Chains A and B, each alone.
Chain A
């Protein structure tokens, strides 16, 4: 009655189990429930949950909203003439991903909350905030609104970590967080 021969008892579901198996199944089951309810628990008590607020959008619509923010809140230009915007806490902040850059540069204040809108203008891109290592997918046609509260100040980089063609490795942006 090895595993490559038919079982002697036709009714294999009546085959008794061993105590090792029974014990392990109970332990593994309990652990699986902990794994499951940990996710639910974190949604209630944790501070790092990915928003699911999503809207359909088009590149033109999203560009218009981003341009309006840039016109209103640009505080300076960086050396490559990319605008650095510092919208007030609580406001809507837009970040565009396109072949092969992020636009504009954003400046947050530490411990303040912002509504960060993400989308891609063309292919899929990745929002990978370093060195914190927060990674979010950016899908064209979908505007993803994430409420962020930076808890550290400093210079952060946004690295594209979804393959987006030959210039993928050139695609990197900035977010600054002031005290």
Chain B
């Protein structure tokens, strides 16, 4: 496990054309890491996330992505991800290859990936058109009952990036609250990068807590408020007003580009990004 600053860690471990999963289901979305990927102008990434959320809307709109594997691509409770839509509907700023699943399918694919199985299975996708547009969704016959079961190939990202509440000095990671498929995505990856709210002497984790031990973690960067405008339980709330405001910002190509330039590209790091938002408010 390596402890570094976010800039170095992203530069060292994320490369053009890789498959990268920034996971976190509404909670603990690694925005700071996503913004650093954007600042470093990584290209041709195959982005993987159950819910692309605003962070992938930004990466897609900024031209970082070649492909997207996902299962629900909206702005939760608000509406569309306009940059994702523009990429799919109009190829702007570049065409986006789409690999589409249901949540249950993608959860099964991550779980298989974490266990290093070739595929995940579920009683799913019955009666839907999804297998017709995603030929990766197939089926097997149960060897015991002959029942037909849907299958999805394992997802094993080159790099998974998470945000968590805390790491201890050895590099063990504690995650509390809504988990999504973070643990599965972490263990499915070749390289695991974690940003944390803080580094502490002791995690004081309850016995059955979600802890990722230091020897599965490649690198850690301490980034306070690194999930903002998503949230970190116990540290700060989700900025729902920002999610509402994003709808207007992302609707228009010029306004989006101006926002990204002003707040992300012109900021050296996440602290400066937060300052620039506070100034604009």
Real binding pair: no
